[in-house]
Homo-oligomer: A and B are copies of this chain.
Amino acid sequence: MTTAATDPIDIDTQYIREAIRDAIVDRRLAPGTKLSEADVGALFHVSRTLVRGALQALSYEGLVNVEKNRGAFVANPSPEEARQIFATRRMIEPGVLMEAARHITPSDIQHLKQLLMEERRLMGERGQSARRAEIKASGDFHLMLTSLTKNAVLQRFMDELVARSSLVIALYGQSAISSCGHHEHEDILDAIEKKDLERACKLMIHHIDHIEADLDLRAEKGSELKEAFRL
C-alpha cells in the first residue's frame, strides 16, 4: 500500500484547504467546531502560515467563519443563510441545465447514469457513513451537470453552493431525502436525454424545492443567540 493518506509529502495550502473542506462537507467536523491554527498545523505538520491561508480561503467559500482575534470555526449556517443558498440555486440551476444540455454528448449521459446507479446503491446502505456518501453523491450529480457547461465561473459558484448545501442538509435535514431525492435526478436526466428541456427545468426547480422543503428551518437551532434575543 502507499503511505499517501497518512504521510503525504507535498502538503500545501491547497491540500489542507481541500482536506478541511471534505471533512466539513462530509460532516466529520461538526458545525461550530473550532479550527485552531496551531492544532491544524500540528496535524498536517506545517506552520500556521499555511493553515491561515487555507482557513481564509474556506471563509471566502462560506464553510468556516473567522472571528477576529478569536479564531476560525466550522460554519453553522443560520436558517436564513440556508434559504439564501437555496434561493440562489433556484436562480442558477435552470440556466445550468439549459447550458449543459446544449453541450451534452451520449458519453456524458452514460457517465451521469453511472453516477446515478452508484447513488442508488448507496441508498440501500444503512448507517451514518452511507448517509454521508448519499448526500455527497446527490451533490455530485449537480456538479457533474455543471461541468458540462465548460464554464469555470459557474463551476466555482456551484461548487460553493453545493458544498454549503451539504452542510445545511446535514444540519437541518429530516432525512426523508432518500425517498424523494433520488428519482428526481433520474427524471431530470431522462428529460434531458429526450431533449425535453422545459420539463427538465421544471423538474429541477421542483427537485430543489423538495430538498429545501425537507429541511426544518424554524429559527432556533444551535448557536444563533443573536437572532434568538433580537440583538
Q: Give the total of A residues in contact with B, Cβ under 8 Å.
A: 25
Q: Which residue of B lies closest to A161 (CB)?
A: B153
Q: Give every chain B residue within 8 A of A53 (Cβ-Cβ).
A: 53, 56
- A157 sits at the interface (CB 8 A): yes
Q: Which residue of B lies closest to A52 (CB)?
A: B53
Whether the pair B60, A60 counts as a contact (CB closer than 8 A) is yes
Bound complex: CA A60 to CA B62 (Å) = 13
- A84 sits at the interface (CB 8 A): yes
Bound complex: CA A116 to CA B88 (Å) = 27
Interface residues of A in 79-94 (CB under 8 A from B): 81, 84-85, 87-88, 90-92, 94
Q: Which residue of B lies closest to A91 (CB)?
A: B95
Whether the pair A151, B95 counts as a contact (CB closer than 8 A) is no
- A96 sits at the interface (CB 8 A): yes
Whether the pair B87, A154 counts as a contact (CB closer than 8 A) is yes
- A43 sits at the interface (CB 8 A): no
Q: Which residue of B lies closest to A155 (CB)?
A: B84
Whether the pair B88, A157 counts as a contact (CB closer than 8 A) is yes
- A99 sits at the interface (CB 8 A): yes
Bound complex: CA A161 to CA B153 (Å) = 9
Whether the pair B96, A151 counts as a contact (CB closer than 8 A) is no
Q: Return A162 CB to nearest CB of chain B, in Å.
A: 12
Q: Return A97 CB to nearest CB of chain B, in Å.
A: 10
Q: Return A215 CB to nearest CB of chain B, in Å.
A: 16
Q: Give every chain B residue within 8 A of A40 (Cβ-Cβ).
A: none
- A152 sits at the interface (CB 8 A): yes
- A57 sits at the interface (CB 8 A): yes
The contact sample of 11 A-B pairs, CB cut-off 8 A, is A53-B53, A53-B56, A57-B60, A60-B60, A62-B153, A84-B153, A85-B153, A87-B154, A88-B157, A91-B92, A91-B94
The 3 closest A-B pairs by CB, nearest first: A91-B95, A84-B151, A88-B153
